[in-house]
Amino acid sequence: MKRSFKAILIIALVVLADQLLKTWVKNNMFIGQEYNIIGNWFIIHFTENNGMAFGMEFAGAFGKLFLTLFRIAAVAGIGYGIHYVIKQRYTFGLTVSVSLIFAGALGNILDSVFYGVIYNYAPLLHGRVVDMFYFPILQGYFPSWLPIWGGEEYIFFRPVFNIADAAISVGVIMILLFQKRYFRVLEKPPVEEDDTQSEVVEA
């Protein structure tokens, strides 16, 4: 199986899973609704955000438009990066990592570009990204003697995210962990000698 086909397969599977889950959540839950999957630390919590990954916001309506256009440009750049990585024969792990980042960015772009129009709440390019995974694994209060945050409640992990965010995070983490291995160009395979030519030489 060609490496380019594997990259396309990874991207297609991630985007499909991301969009199927978002569509189900969008059509079967209301904002703020929750389903406890495993105890109180793995929760499906329906929320939407106008900004970047994990619910971060960015400068109102103009910022939203800028961010969507920036995402589109970034995805185009990452797409070229996948082509370059494959063409230059970098390790397959790097191809997987960049494909995950591309798929995650594309998944969130689909929300930003089309969801406002599909669900009739905003013009093109102003849609909100659907998030649902919530892992409040640790909850408690900071000790009172701690500067700044003393006595305040803490929750780990607080951000709500989606499959696309997770794909981006996994891709980036893989690159950071294995960068020495990833950024090593594979040697070109040796050219196999033609059997017919070999027999003529020996004769």
DSSP class of residue 67 equals H
pLDDT tens digits for range 85-103: 999 989 999 999 999 999 9
32 assigned to some structural domain: yes
More confident residue, 60 or 72: 72
What's the pLDDT at 192? 47
DSSP class of residue 160 equals -
Q: What is the extent of the structural domain holding 128?
A: 3-135+162-187
Q: What is the DSSP string of 76-140?
A: HHHHHHHHHHHHTT--HHHHHHHHHHHHHHHHHHHIIIIIHHHTTSS-TT-PPEEEEEE---EEE
Report how many domains make up the chain: 1
What's the pLDDT at 61? 64
**CA trace torsion 41, 44, 45, 48 (10° rounding):** 130
| DSSP H or E segment with residue 168 | helix 163-177
70 assigned to some structural domain: yes
122 assigned to some structural domain: yes
146 assigned to some structural domain: no
200 assigned to some structural domain: no
Distance of alpha carbon 125 from alpha carbon 31, whole angstroms: 21
11 assigned to some structural domain: yes
Question: Which residue reads 């990452």 in tokens?
Answer: 78
Whether pLDDT at 133 is above 60: yes
pLDDT-above-70 percentage for the chain: 84
91 assigned to some structural domain: yes
Q: Which residues touch 15 (CB under 8 Å, ≥6 apart)? A: 103, 106, 107, 110, 164
pLDDT tens digits for range 105-130: 999 999 999 999 999 999 999 999 99
Q: In Å, what is the CA distance from 87 to each residue of 2, 133, 137, 199, 201?
A: 12, 36, 42, 34, 35
123 assigned to some structural domain: yes
Residues acting as catalytic residues = 131, 165
